[in-house]
Structure 1
Amino acid sequence: MLNRTAKFLTICLLAQPLPPAALTVTAAASENAALRDISKIQVDERRLTEAVASRTLTWLTGSPANNDYISVGRLANFFGFVGLRVTSGHSLKRSEVARETLSVLTEQQRTQMVSLVHAQKDTLNRAHEARQEMNRALEGLLAFEHVTREQFIELGRDYGAREAELGRLLAQTFGDIAQTLSTDQQRALTDIRTTHLSGERRQGNGGGDPKLRQSKADKKELVNLTARFLSWTTGSQEFNDFEVVGKPSQHFGFVALRIGSNHGVKRGLVAKEVLEILTPSQIDRLREAALQNAREFPMFLEVRAQLMRVLETSLSGGVIDPAHTAHLGAEIGEIEASMTWSQAAAMLDVRDGLSEAQSADLLAMRAKYTAETDSSDLDDPIERGRQLFAQCAFCHNSDSRQPIGPPLDDIVGKPIASDPAFKRYSPALVRYARAQSMWTEAQLDAFLKSPKALVPGTFMSFDGYEETDDRSALIAYLKTRK
């Protein structure tokens, strides 16, 4: 485990000049009053409390598909594009930047960029898989399974090392291409950055829009990589070191909610609504996690900056050391996992103390937004059912002081509305139990398809699973819960 002491840092570490191959933004753009000064954006206890509060909504009421969703560019986010977007007031369009950048590159340089799209795939997939392993462990916590902090931290170290290896692969190729840029190309790339940051529209794009034969997915990734190349080769360490509050612990589904709402969801407003629903003691529990994160975030930035300096050696023609990269990546992953664990533990404590009214308010709040639950392509139905059960656990929480629904252990083959410890069955379900005495698989399937259609008047607020495969998977998993 890390043993570091660090003075609390701002979100950006002090910028140092990059190697000569890297360019800088012109004064015209940096002096534009519309631009945001990223050196003034701090990650403090208040911002972290907002982050934890907003995730309390999305994690407890969302789905595994929501949690697994990650926006383009978030893995191996080491190349300054996020800082560039924030500085531009989020007006910067990745696709426009990429198209214009590709028009500046030679055919050989574009070929290298296209080759990178394919060369990184296995490494990218391994990073995705490691991140999903962390999500499965978090879902285990939601489903009352035994997951230790030590196990989770180890998953974080693995994820961090794999993400850093992806960053090394990209940085090495970006550096190789940067070494071949002519002076005119460097000026043209700087002009692209400056013009976009000034809020102006570029007239033309230099050499025209190159037509590259790629699949839709590969074109999307080419855009992602090319935009990063522009931000990295025209930026500074200040931009590379910049990180937003949402990056560490991006495992709780807030990004999916933002995308599903067409970016209409604002973290601060969501957090305000959530905090208005919670009691003072519940809010204090979230703030406790935020305070812990505030102590760890500077360490995250410190080690991340060390990794950035290693990756930046390729801009001056150096070869990046894989072992050093993996070591720093694992340290970063450990800190991120620790921050994530603190948040998850706090959110579970809040869940266990929610009243029926609070739970209903959170579910209604979620319903206002448009993020949908997507079906999983998992081949293992029991694992798919386990993921779905993580949603059920929000109401069917045996650890809660005031559970909304009865526990679901041994539910298959159990008499309907029969748990002696649960006193709040709806009269409608009690009446239904007189005619259909047992939860058979067929009865569960019909109920899970549409609770209100099968038992009009049920207290069950969930609308049901339309997909037969989802219902079958959930029932298969419920049969394993003894």
Structure 2
Amino acid sequence: MRTPTILLSFFISSALALPVVAQNGVTALRDLSDHDVDEAQLRSAVASRTLTWLTGVSANNDYISVGRMANFFGFVALRVSSGQSLTRAHVARDTLAVLKPSQIELLVALLDAQISPHQATQGARIQMNRALEWLLVGDHVDEAEFLALGRTYGAAEAELGRVIAQSFGEIAMTLSKEQQSTLRLIREGHAAGQPITIPHSGNGMRLSDVDRQELVNLAARFLSWTTGSPEFNDFEVVGKPSQHFGFVSLRLASGHAVRRGVVAQQVLDILTLDQSRMLNVSVQQNVDVFDAFLSLRGELMRKLEVALDGQVIDADEVQRLGAAIGEIEAKMTWAQAMAMLNVRDALSEEQLTELLELRATYTVSTSESATQDAMDRGRQLFAQCALCHAPSRDNAVAPSLARIVGRPIASDDDFQHYSPAMILFAETEGNWSTTTLDRFLSSPRSAVPGTTMGFDGLGSARDRAAILAYLATLE
């Protein structure tokens, strides 16, 4: 039974856009055929996880982002192809505006239907995390037992996917041709960064915060799965397998300022060449089995897709494939854990301190209230920055600060007046990491001698942390 507390209403805005690139009926700003997982991506994943796992706690590692569990429905592929410009909330809002009340009711019924398999999946995942933590503290964990945990997790996740897919198929079979066409236009508009305008009067459904968030997740997945091709939906990012090491939690704590590639390079800069080679052992093992992971995942996807034709999904086959996929993920996870433990055993005290300090640069506070206070303070401080770094691009006297965290230095194409000193700084420093920004904000002229920025700097480390947290939210 749903708990009524918050009225759902969805508002549609923006203008109709034509598709930028169309392949198999799917619009994309980026061609995912060139986005295959390779050694460099896997090395980046393992290096960034080395920081989060060795310096994190259970709560960090247990956190998983919305939509990452049972990720069989193509939303991640759609988001990546759009250049990361769309959000679940916006896609869900537009999707729900197209669905009829009876179809939305089926989505709401799915909220209850998925509770049990969702709990089973989360429980199995946490069991794997506990085993990994036993490894961290020196307890013996048998590899075969860990792979068995992986099979249980994979089977549970596949069953969760089956429950969702079967309901999605039931709804899809009731879509009119007009609804199908409109949903495709919604996909194309979001992929192009220009959502279409759809008249909408809202609905009177009341749901709790948690249910509302999950309905958004389901609606966004429904759109991506029912409008995407099988080839498109088969895409998977490197961060999905082995998502047991807390990187997603760090990204959340940083206000989404963390960039995997940046963190990975910072970690590799701390490690010695021999320590980096230890990580490369797991990278090579992951490369060797990743194709098998994708192949089995593709088979599972085909089993789920029969629901779109009104067929009943074979639950036994889904669990069999899910268990096999889970075992491969567990093998990848085990290899990474062994490599990271080898690195930890080889770390000097100075290196360990550097890793802890690196993590701290991405975390404003462990307190939710303190984080909110920091965000408020950052917003106040940014008002001073906005005098020059105005949102308007007309006659700008300083570059835009939107998405500044992780962006290449001196890379705002709309700003043509970077000083020679800043251009030289860009050549030596690369990107605006939180560490680099903190150093620059402390004293711009010390960090970049010859800069034309007329600002003396922020002496307070707390104020710098606050403004960095706020800058990470700027889109």
Q: 1:81-114: CA deviations, max 9, x gaps?
A: 0000001111111111111111111111010000
Quote how far apart the aligned CAs of 1:27 are: 5.2
In the alignment, structure 1 residue 105 sits paired with structure 2 residue 95: no
Quote how far apart the aligned CAs of 1:142 are: 0.5
Quote how far apart the aligned CAs of 1:263 are: 1.4
In the alignment, structure 1 residue 164 sits paired with structure 2 residue 146: no
3-state SS of 2:147 partner = helix
In the alignment, structure 1 residue 324 sits paired with structure 2 residue 310: no
Quote how far apart the aligned CAs of 1:259 are: 1.3
Q: Which residue of 1 aligns with 2:203?
A: 210
Q: Which residue of 2 aligns with 1:242?
A: 235
Q: Which residue of 2 aligns with 1:410?
A: none
Q: Which residue of 1 aligns with 2:22?
A: 30
d(CA) in 2 for partners of 1:374, 1:181 = 46
d(CA) in 2 for partners of 1:339, 1:227 = 29
3-state SS of 2:341 partner = helix
Instruction: Name the amino acid aligned to 2:38.
Output: D
Instruction: Name the amino acid aligned to 2:169.
Output: G
d(CA) in 1 for partners of 2:67, 2:135 = 28
3-state SS of 1:370 partner = coil
State the identity as a percent: 57
Instruction: Name the amino acid aligned to 1:53.
Output: A
In the alignment, structure 1 residue 266 sits paired with structure 2 residue 259: yes
Quote how far apart the aligned CAs of 1:358 are: 0.6
3-state SS of 1:92 partner = coil
- Structure 1: runs of 5+ lacking an equivalent: 1-24, 376-482
Instruction: Name the amino acid aligned to 1:316.
Output: D
d(CA) in 2 for partners of 1:260, 1:232 = 30
- Work out which of the residue numbers 45, 54, 72 in structure 1 matches 2:48: 54
Instruction: Name the amino acid aligned to 2:51.
Output: L
Q: Which residue of 2 aligns with 1:128?
A: 122
Q: Which residue of 2 aligns with 1:82?
A: 76
3-state SS of 2:61 partner = helix
Quote how far apart the aligned CAs of 1:28 are: 4.2
In the superposition, the TM-score normalised over structure 1's length comes to 0.70
Q: Which residue of 2 aligns with 1:146?
A: 140
d(CA) in 2 for partners of 1:143, 1:219 = 39
Q: How does 1:293-332 map to 2 (within 5 A)?
A: 293-332=286-325
- Work out which of the residue numbers 252, 256, 277 in structure 2 matches 1:284: 277
Q: How does 1:221-236 map to 2 (within 5 A)?
A: 221-236=214-229
In the superposition, the TM-score normalised over structure 2's length comes to 0.71
d(CA) in 2 for partners of 1:165, 1:318 = 16
Q: 1:134-181: CA deviations, max 9, x gaps?
A: 000000000111111111000000000000000000000000110110
In the alignment, structure 1 residue 358 sits paired with structure 2 residue 351: yes
The answer (yes or no) to whether the contact 1:65–1:374 under 8 Å persists in 2 is no
The answer (yes or no) to whether the contact 2:27–2:187 under 8 Å persists in 1 is no
Distance 1:371 1:321, change over 3 A: farther
3-state SS of 2:213 partner = helix
Quote how far apart the aligned CAs of 1:365 are: 0.5
Instruction: Name the amino acid aligned to 1:181.
Output: L
Aligned residues: 350
3-state SS of 1:209 partner = coil
Whose Rg is larger?
1
Instruction: Name the amino acid aligned to 1:222.
Output: L
The answer (yes or no) to whether the contact 2:170–2:310 under 8 Å persists in 1 is yes
Q: 1:21-65: CA deviations, max 9, x gaps?
A: xxxx98545389981211111211111111100000000001111
Q: Which residue of 1 aligns with 2:247?
A: 254
Q: 1:439-473: CA deviations, max 9, x gaps?
A: xxxxxxxxxxxxxxxxxxxxxxxxxxxxxxxxxxx
d(CA) in 2 for partners of 1:39, 1:357 = 42
In the alignment, structure 1 residue 41 sits paired with structure 2 residue 35: yes
In the alignment, structure 1 residue 219 sits paired with structure 2 residue 226: no
Instruction: Name the amino acid aligned to 1:111.
Output: E
Structure 1 runs of 4+ aligned residues shifted over 6 Å read 31-34
Quote how far apart the aligned CAs of 1:310 are: 0.3
Distance 1:86 1:63, change over 3 A: same
Distance 1:371 1:329, change over 3 A: farther
d(CA) in 1 for partners of 2:266, 2:325 = 32
d(CA) in 2 for partners of 1:321, 1:226 = 24
The answer (yes or no) to whether the contact 2:64–2:248 under 8 Å persists in 1 is yes
Q: Which residue of 2 aligns with 1:66?
A: 60
Instruction: Name the amino acid aligned to 1:211.
Output: G
Distance 1:26 1:239, change over 3 A: farther
In the alignment, structure 1 residue 189 sits paired with structure 2 residue 169: no
Q: Which residue of 1 aligns with 2:456?
A: none
More deviation, 167-176/38-47: 38-47
- Structure 2: runs of 5+ lacking an equivalent: 1-16, 369-475
d(CA) in 2 for partners of 1:92, 1:125 = 28
